[in-house]
Amino acid sequence: MNFCPMEIQMKNKTLWILLTFVALVFNTTLATAKLEPLPQQSEAAHLAGEILSKHHYKPIPLDDSLSVKIFDQYFKTLDGEKIYLLQSDIDSYANARTKLDDAINDGDMSIPFAIFNLYQQRITERFNYARSLLKKGFDFSTNESYQFMRKDAPWPKSIAELNDLWRKRVKNDWLRLKLAGKKDDSIVETLNKRYENSLNSLAKVKSEDVFQGFMNAYAMVIDPHTNYFGVRASEEFNISMRLSLVGIGAALINKDEYTVIKELLAGGPAILSGKLKPGDRIVGVGQGENNPVTDIMGWRIDDAVSVIRGTEDSVVVLDILPADEGTDGKHKLISLVRKKISLDKQAAKKSIIEVKDGKVTRRIGVIALPGFYQDFAARQHGDKNFKSASRDVEHLLEELKKDKVDGVLMDLRNNGGGSLNEAVELTGLFIAKGPVVQQRDSKGNVRIEVDDNASSVWDGPMGVLINRGSASASEIFAAAIQDYGRGLVIGEKSFGKGTVQTIVDMDQIVKNDKPKYGELKMTIAQFFRIDGGTTQLRGVTPDIPLETATNTDDFGESSYDNALPWTKIQAAEYTPADALSDTLPKLIANHNKRVSQDKDFKYLREDIAELNNLRKKNLISLNETERRKERETREAREKLRENIKGENASESASALASSRALQDDGMQPGERNFKADQAIENASKNAKDILLNEAAHILSDETVLLKTKPRLATNVMP
């Protein structure tokens, strides 16, 4: 079972969104009580060390040299922004720099846990200090700035330096709320509750969270895509691959110590009952009709989810405090029968974009694929209807044929990968029989993955839309389409992950009856394009690049210190179509002309320039007059843009409503009322996707150029 795991899911955000999250509090789910390692963790650490040292693609001895790297990575994992720990804290564990290899080999987790306990102590001190500042207030007439990204900064050398850093953080939190129109009393109440919630969340961390964090630090110094999954994390990963679970069909969030229903999933027991709605609070859970209901107030969301899920056709009883009731409102008990839930929102979806060209309208079918999922277990058990990305896309392609689309665009933006087999089978839907990708194992053996199907499902014009968040299996697919000359690759350079992982179930190795040790996601091979090159580090370079706000220094394979280098092997035998090489210059010229005259792209370039300038400065003013002037300038610019965009009154009103919903209100998720959070989420979802629209225009141009070439019309058009 080889796969290219789903990596960081990242969306480009506007300047408004960046400013909204400039002052977010990081790493707050930790414990105030000292945590101790569990016996099974010692055993799991030793077993993981044995496996990674001997069977990884690039096996590295677990010795003092590697221990130093683990030490640095562990502290980076805990406090990457260097806002909690002092340099003296790091120095106090200097003797442990070369002892973490022994800790893993011997199964002695005392040092990692001691480091973590010091870390959570520092966090408690920081938030207590933050709360103390609220009693004093701030002078916003002074000229000082706050550095909001500190990963490259040195560790603070003294409590005084750390206090000053946090004074500025809290001052910025206060100022953002003040600029959004909040009064001082309301600001104090909001921030006090925010910091109190952060402290309350410290009590919810568990020993397994600490262990997983440390083992991940070990795994990731070997290579960036090797990871350790605890038992619960393993199950969540498996759910993401099979896109199904057994439960009630509700997405849940934490808000004010409540487990709140964020969304009801189509076809699930919750929505079919007609008794639940978004915003309802689950305060208790019972297993079966006649068993007691357990109070889950204040529980972690994953703990709440674990008792709400269960075996298929079993009964769960929910104690519900309705959304429209106050905290002392009337509860109701609701019984539901758990069923298998298909996570369709994470599956492939189709849409059609109509592109007008004079009097002609062309229809471009778009298939958005969030991940290369496959239900491995169902397939192994012979289930002919097992869930898979390629199967879903094949079905959608047949539908798009009936819809008489002129071209098909695969939207793989922020698709972090998944099953390597699915990438091969998806490629086979667009090409005739031939090689798709090459794999080289640790011994240098090369295996070519081939599409054996002699026919394709869609042989018409097609393109692939990618961004920096397109990784692994996405890159395999995009690279194969590009190497064959089968379609256009549009967007920004992809992530650059050219390695293959497999899941190693440590409980299976030692034949445990129940999950106890967790799993390793371990790199076992490197994949190569059929032209012999690899996507490793370099990614897939689009044929037609689009504007991007991504900071490639912070995101992508090249941002990792220990990423494998780029290399090349012998090309596979394949015949490129060469269908697009002579049309590409014309397509690029049409694209450049179109975006040069498009006001949305003009605005995008302006926002990117401002965002890059803000990143470069890495400072935000704490002077109210200056910040208010900046905010007013942005608001005036947004209002002017929406007035220009609004070709009719309804479009202008809708665009302005979305813009207002996304303005910085100084609040964090969970601090607004439920409807306000929903409005922001909906505004983000409904925002105009100018990159997708331009990709559709490019593909529309391609269909025209291909029709003027008789040979290509015969070979390529449906």
173 belongs to the catalytic site: no
CA distance 451 to 530: 12
Residue among 214, 183, 169 nearest 26 (CA): 169
Residue type at position 267: G
pLDDT of residue 8: 33
Task: Record the pTM.
Answer: 0.88
pLDDT of residue 694: 97
pLDDT of residue 374: 94
Architecture of the domain defined by 345-579: Alpha-Beta Complex (3.90)
Query: Coil, strand or helix: which one is 570?
Result: coil
> In this structure, are residues 204 and 304 in contact, taking their beta carbons and an 8 Å threshold?
no
What's the pLDDT tens digit per position in 405-455?
A: 999 999 999 999 999 999 999 999 999 899 999 999 999 999 999 999 888
58 belongs to the catalytic site: no
How many CB atoms are closer than 10 A to CB 577?
16
Residue among 79, 57, 72, 48 nearest 223 (CA): 57
CA distance 296 to 284: 5
Structure tokens at 715: 């070979």
Q: How many Å separate Cα 401 from the centre of its chain?
A: 32
Q: List, in order, residues 6 or more apart from 39 with CB less than 8 Å away.
A: none
Which residues of the chain fall short of a pLDDT of 50?
5-31, 648-657, 710-718
Structure tokens at 58: 């690039």
Structure tokens at 281: 């609070």
Q: Which of 207, 472, 494, 658 is catalytic?
A: 472
497 belongs to the catalytic site: yes
CA distance 537 to 559: 9
> In this structure, are residues 390 and 426 in contact, taking their beta carbons and an 8 Å threshold?
yes
pLDDT of residue 717: 35
Q: Which of 497, 658, 664, 677 is catalytic?
A: 497
Q: Which of 209, 483, 531, 677 is catalytic?
A: 483
pLDDT of residue 22: 32
Listed by start position, the domains of the chain span 2-229, 244-342, 345-579, 619-687
pLDDT of residue 662: 57
Query: Could you identify the residue written with the tokens 């044995």?
Result: 50
Structure tokens at 251: 């997405």
- Kindly report the three-state secondary structure assignment for every residue of 603-644: HHHHHHHHHHHHHHHCCEECCHHHHHHHHHHHHHHHHHHHHH
> In this structure, are residues 577 and 484 in contact, taking their beta carbons and an 8 Å threshold?
yes
Domain 244-342 = CATH 3.40.50.800: no
- Residues 528, 530, 533, CA angle at the centre, nearest 5°? 45
CA distance 391 to 362: 26
Residue among 71, 190, 195 nearest 124 (CA): 195
244-342 and 345-579 share one fold: no
pLDDT of residue 708: 63
